[in-house]
Amino acid sequence: MSKYAILQKPEGGGRVRCGTCIRRCSIPQGSYGLCKNYRNLGGKLYNVGYGKVSAIESRPIEIKPLFHFYPGSSATTFSGWGCNFLCPWCQNWHLSKYPPPEDSKTISPEDIVKYALRWGDEGVCASFNEPVIHLEYLIDVFKEAKKHGLYTVIVSNASMTREALHELVKAGLDAISADIKGCPETYRKYQGIPDPTEILRNLSEAIKLGVHVEAVYLVVTGANDWDECIDWVIDNHLRYLGDDVPLHVNRYYPAYEYFKPPTSTELLIRIYEEALRSGIRYVYVGNIASTEYMHTKCPNCGKVVIRRTHYGVINYRLSKDGRCPYCGYRLNIVGEGRVSTYKYFI
């Protein structure tokens, strides 16, 4: 199944400019954009990956990771095929490095929502591969989800254009777990993107539009782990996203075509401490054995108010409106949290 792309501009000579992501591919007739989901057919652009789902399952919201958005809840998580980024360390390369297969299973937006209701999930989430390249599908899924009172999430590299972001927000986008790849040198070398500040400005705009945002900094050995790069990520987090937006500092493991050693735990903890000293109120360390750096502490009094394991919440002490029980400080939490009842705990 394919669907007419909502963001496109004819360029003459049969070429079409895609307006979905910041690459803005200029696509000749019969060809695909870099993501392999948008194709020029007869001078018009179509999303040929519409509804072609590569995976679907119920997962805890904490795995996204989203720690400040409906803590303890779960979301029906689905993905398509392909990607508009080129990360050689991709963990989900078996999905993201392949175009939508002709015989791929197609799931309607209505059926995605039916899965969520059947599984007892509170929301839907597009993840695993880059959701932005399925813009038309996400819009339809999110609109359907909102009819049934479900929240909507994307786990994304945040490379959508401003126009695409606005379309997602109009459709009901509630939250973004945004993967920040590193500093400009990282984006130039590994993505062919000269200026990542468009991505950060997108996230700043999303926050202004009421979307909950959390940033994820996967610290990749040799790619974005030197001092100047670390400082750039922290400084620009504060500049564009603000001190109230959580930062997840995650460990990299070798995958796909990148085999440098996993990130040292000592470096992750150093970044964690530097981010806190710089003024980011909520900082976490993920993909390590210890859960010590996964707990939420009140920025005002320092007490632990949400305690987590790797798959969710095991102790939740905030009031219904997100206030610390010890000092009354209002934390940046969206939705009423709870102790996880997800099946992984049973």
Reported as a single tens digit per residue, the pLDDT across 7-61 is 999 999 999 999 999 999 999 999 999 999 999 999 999 999 999 999 999 999 9
Q: Cβ neighbours of residue 223 under 8 Å, at least 6 residues apart? A: 89, 182, 186, 189, 190, 258, 260
Q: Are 306 and 315 in contact (CB under 8 A)?
A: yes
Is residue 342 very low, low, confident or very high in pLDDT (cuts 50, 70, 90)?
A: low
Contacts by 330-334, CB closer than 8 A, 24 or more apart: 331/68, 331/296, 331/298, 331/299, 331/305, 332/68, 332/244, 332/245, 332/246, 332/281, 332/282, 333/68, 333/69, 333/71, 334/68, 334/69, 334/70, 334/174, 334/175, 334/212
Q: Could you tell me the residue ranges of all domains in the chain?
A: 3-47, 55-345
234 confidence band (pLDDT: 50, 70, 90): very high
Quote the mean pLDDT of the chain.
96
Mean pLDDT, range 55-81, rounded to an integer = 97
Q: What is the pLDDT of residues 254-279, one digit of tens each?
A: 999 999 999 999 999 999 999 999 99
Q: pLDDT value at position 207? A: 98
- pLDDT over 70 at 203, yes or no: yes
Q: What percent of the chain has pLDDT over 70?
A: 99
Q: What is the mean pLDDT of residues 175-183?
A: 98
Question: How buried is residue 147: exposed, middle or buried, by Cβ count under 10 Å (0-12/13-18/19+)?
Answer: exposed
pLDDT of residue 343: 55
Beta strands in the chain (DSSP E): 3-4, 8-12, 15-18, 26-27, 38-41, 44-47, 55-60, 74-79, 123-126, 151-156, 175-180, 212-219, 247-251, 283-286, 296-297, 304-309, 312-316
- State yes or no: pLDDT of 185 exceeds 60: yes
Mean pLDDT throughout 106-123? 97
Fold category of 55-345 in CATH? TIM Barrel (3.20.20)
pLDDT at residue number 346 = 35
Cβ neighbors of 346 (< 8 A, separation 6 or more) are none
> Scanning the structure block, which residue is given the tokens 């390590």?
288
pLDDT of residue 105: 84
Residue 308 confidence (pLDDT):
97
pLDDT digits (tens, 9 = 90+) for 268-310: 999 999 999 999 999 999 999 999 999 999 999 999 999 999 8
Three-state secondary-structure class, residue 20:
coil
Q: State the pLDDT at residue 345.
A: 44
